[in-house]
């Protein structure tokens, strides 16, 4: 490889990619280990969600019973009017907003602004928590009021309930795990673990504000997955 690449100067475009991949030490220059690992984990997780969604489409199109109409099932009665998809619109809005606060946290992190980073991480966590809360509300309504169960429901195909609980549950689990890690990250920011490079949680590696970005990758991914779930479960 040429001297210039080894010195860390970058050529752009395809030539740059080729130079990086044919170089020694690292294929992704300047990418810390935890970030590379997160990307690969997310790739694997993408396959999980794809399998879920494709399976959902498959059962939905092969089942013989009618599929309940999503605009009716997911309507809320507010002041006497039945408004379709209102809860889910709010949930989606909240989750997308949390992506924004997450991105801001990453930015303040790189500026080493401890207080703002921690604050925005907590805001993100709270938005995530309210998302999970509203999901719990939605589940309760479906189970208690509409009588939806994994094995059947009064409106039609039994697979409606099982796919819904399975896929939104799996996503909600991701959000919940994310909330826990957001809080942990916020605490570490406040403690100054990323300023004095204290070893990280479960990694033993030196702390750095780049962890905030890695956390952000996960969070944005979970949001992105929600967009697909939203489209396939509520709009179809």
Partner 1 sequence: MSTATTMHDETGHVPPAEVEEVELYHAKTWLGKYVFSQDAKVIAIQYGCTAIAIGMVGLVLSLMMRLQLGFPNEFSFINPSNYIQAVTMHGMIMVVYLLTALFLGGFGNYFIPIMIGARDMVFPYVNMLSFWIYLLSVLILVASFFVPGGPSGAGWTLYPPQVMLEGTPGHEWGAILMLVSLAFFIIGFTMGGLNYVVTVLQARTRGMTLMRLPLTVWGIFMATILALLAFPALLVSAIMMLFDMLLGASFFMPAIVSMGEQLDHSGGSPILFQHLFWFFGHPEVYIVALPAFGMVSDILSVHARKAIFGYRMMVWAIVAIGGLSFIVWAHHMYVSGMNPYFGFFFATTTLIIAVPTALKVYNWVLTLWRGNIHLTIPMLFAIGFIFTFVNGGLTGLFLGNVTVDLPLSDTLFVVAHFHMVMAVSPVLVLYGAIYHWYPKISGRMFHQGMAQFHFWITFVGSYAIYYPMHYLGLMGVPRRYFSMGSTDFILPSAQGLNEFITIAAIIVGVTQLLFIYNLVWSLFKGEKASDNPWNATTLEWQTATTPPGHGNFGKELPLVYRWPYDYSVPGEDIDFLPQNQPPRGAG
The SS3 of residue 197 is coil
Give CA separation, 38 vs 13, 42, 43, 229, in Å.
24, 6, 9, 22
3-state DSSP of 1-14: CCHHHHCCCCCCHH
- Complex with partner 1: residue 84 or 158, whichever CB lies closer: 158
Helix (H) or strand (E) holding 82: strand 81-84
Segment interacting with partner 1, rule: CB under 8 A, options 76-84, 127-135, 186-194, 202-210: 202-210
Residues 6+ apart with CB under 8 A from 48: 170
For residues 105-134, which are near partner 1 according to CB under 8 A? Answer: none
Residues between 91 and 110 with contacts to partner 1, criterion CB under 8 A:
none
Q: Exposure of 120 by Cβ count < 10 A (0-12 exposed, 13-18 middle, 19+ buried)?
A: buried
Choice between 27 and 78, CB closer to partner 1: 27
**66 part of the interface to partner 1, by CB under 8 A:** no
Our finding on whether 173 is near partner 1 (CB under 8 A) is no
- Contacts with 69 (C-beta within 8 Å, 6 or more apart), sequence order: 155
Is 26 near partner 1 (CB under 8 A)?
yes
Stretch of 86-94, 113-121, 122-130, 152-160 lying at the interface with partner 1 (CB under 8 A): 152-160
Cβ 107 to partner 1, closest distance in Å?
A: 24
Q: Partners of 77 in the beta sheet?
A: 82
Task: Give the residue, chosen from 11, 36, 132, 228, that forms a contact with partner 1 under the rule CB under 8 A.
Answer: 36
Residue count, binding to partner 1 (CB under 8 A): 51
Residue 72 beta carbon to partner 1: minimum distance, rounded to whole angstroms: 20
């Amino acid at each position: 490889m040429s001297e210039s690449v080894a010195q860390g100067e970058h050529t752009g475009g395809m030539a740059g990619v080729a130079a990086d991949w044919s170089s020694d030490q690292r294929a992704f220059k300047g990418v810390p280990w935890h970030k590379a690992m997160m990307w690969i984990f997310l790739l694997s997780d993408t396959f999980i969600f794809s399998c879920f969604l494709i399976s959902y489409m498959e059962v939905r199109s092969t089942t013989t019973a009618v599929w309940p109409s999503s605009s009716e099932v997911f309507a809320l009665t507010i002041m006497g009017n039945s408004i379709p998809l209102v809860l889910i619109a709010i949930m989606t809005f909240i989750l997308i907003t949390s992506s924004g606060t997450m991105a801001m946290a990453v930015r303040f992190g790189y500026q080493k602004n401890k207080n703002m980073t921690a604050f925005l991480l907590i805001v993100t966590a709270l938005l995530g928590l309210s998302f999970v809360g509203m999901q719990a509300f939605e589940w309760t309504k479906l189970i208690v009021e509409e009588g939806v169960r994994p094995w059947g429901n009064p409106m039609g195909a039994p697979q409606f309930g099982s796919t819904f609980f399975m896929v939104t549950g799996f996503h909600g689990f991701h959000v919940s795990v994310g909330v826990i890690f957001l809080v942990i990250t916020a605490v570490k920011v406040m403690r100054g673990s990323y300023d004095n490079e204290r070893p990280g949680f479960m990694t033993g590696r030196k702390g750095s504000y780049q962890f905030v970005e890695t956390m952000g990758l996960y969070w944005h991914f979970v949001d992105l997955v929600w967009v697909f779930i939203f489209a396939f479960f509520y709009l179809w």
